[in-house]
Amino acid sequence: MKKIIIIFILIIQFYSVELFSQNTHEFEMWYKVSPEIALTVNDRFDFRFRPCDYTVTPDVAKARLDFMAGVKFWKFTLFDYTKIDNHEGAWTGPRLDFNIMLANNKLLIHTNERFFFGLNSKSTNHYYLVQLVTWSFNDWFNAGFLGYGKWNTTTVFKEGLWFMGPIIGFKLPYNIEIQLSTTIDIFDTKTYMSLFLLKYKIKYHKKEE
């Protein structure tokens, strides 16, 4: 109970500082809210479902449904990633994750690349690059750095989005995890994005007969 209270206070502090900054500075804030259900089978097969991944900007609000099916080999996981949004967009493509734990499993280094093929005329091909480095201070709290970039295949590098900033994470009972981040677009320093990720993990191991 004490752990949950501390996490709740930290979350309130995080968003209070963000709202104060937004009211006292001239910049544009984007918000991304992403609940996810993750199922791992026999520590090899990875399935993820995001029923309502929201991205909200001053100009538009997008809701998206994501489904990923992946297989792990060594430090990599290769996914087939399909997503559909509320603006008639539809994409599918590969996602390749790399994860490694160092320093007695305290330091996490993670990267993932995604390439999406548009499935209709309203869906352009695009590419993502995500970088994450975190340090676990104990069994329920970690903090580090997040990079989150997106580029359409028809645009030059500097016309893309590349958000970077600090991230904090909490592990709650019942396999629930929360990650919070506020990042800045290095191509447009007046644009920020705040991330809230809520994840529920399930592990399934087949019993040997």
pLDDT tens digits, one per residue of 95-121: 999 999 999 999 999 999 999 999 999
Q: What is the mean pLDDT of residues 188-195?
A: 90
What DSSP string runs through 17-46?
Answer: HHHHHHHHS--EEEEEEEEEEEEEETTTEE
pLDDT tens digits, one per residue of 125-164: 999 999 999 999 999 999 999 999 999 998 889 999 999 9
Is residue 6 a part of any domain in this protein? Answer: no
Question: Which CATH number characterizes residue 84's domain?
Answer: 2.40.160.40
Residue 170, pLDDT above cutoff 70 = yes
In 3-state terms, the chain is what percent helix, strand and coil (to 5)?
Answer: 10, 65, 20
pLDDT tens digits, one per residue of 14-56: 655 555 555 555 778 898 999 999 999 999 999 999 999 999 9
Higher-confidence residue: 76 or 9?
76
| Cβ 112 vs Cβ 103: under 8 Å | no
Q: Residue 18 has what pLDDT?
A: 56
Q: Residue 19 has what pLDDT?
A: 52
Structural domain including 169 reads 28-204
Higher-confidence residue: 104 or 190?
104
Non-local CB neighbours of 188 within 8 Å, separated by 6+ positions: none
Question: Where does the pLDDT of residue 167 fall: very low under 50, low under 70, confident under 90, or very high at 90 and above?
Answer: very high
β-pairing verdict for 28-41 and 188-204: parallel
| Cβ 35 vs Cβ 51: under 8 Å | yes
* Secondary structure letter of residue 16 according to DSSP: H
Is residue 3 a part of any domain in this protein? Answer: no
Is residue 1 a part of any domain in this protein? Answer: no
Question: Where does the pLDDT of residue 205 fall: very low under 50, low under 70, confident under 90, or very high at 90 and above?
Answer: confident
**96-133 burial code (b ≥16 CB/10 A, e <16):** ebeeeeeeeeeebebebebbbebeeeebeebebebebe
Is residue 166 a part of any domain in this protein? Answer: yes
| Cβ 195 vs Cβ 32: under 8 Å | yes
Is residue 116 a part of any domain in this protein? Answer: yes
Q: Of 197, 204, 199, nearest to 45 (Cα)?
A: 204
Comparing 55-64, 127-136, 181-190, 199-208, the range with the smallest average pLDDT is 199-208
Q: Residue 208 has what pLDDT?
A: 64
Give φ, ψ of 70 to 5 degrees. Answer: -135, 165
Number of compact structural domains in the chain: 1
pLDDT tens digits, one per residue of 58-70: 888 999 999 999 9
| Cβ 48 vs Cβ 38: under 8 Å | yes
Is residue 18 a part of any domain in this protein? Answer: no
Is residue 155 a part of any domain in this protein? Answer: yes
Using CA atoms, how far apart are residues 177 and 172, in angstroms rounded to an integer? 6
| Cβ 98 vs Cβ 76: under 8 Å | yes
Q: Residue 189 has what pLDDT?
A: 85
| Cβ 192 vs Cβ 184: under 8 Å | yes
Question: Where does the pLDDT of residue 204 fall: very low under 50, low under 70, confident under 90, or very high at 90 and above?
Answer: confident
Q: What is the mean pLDDT of residues 187-196?
A: 91
Q: Residue 155 has what pLDDT?
A: 86
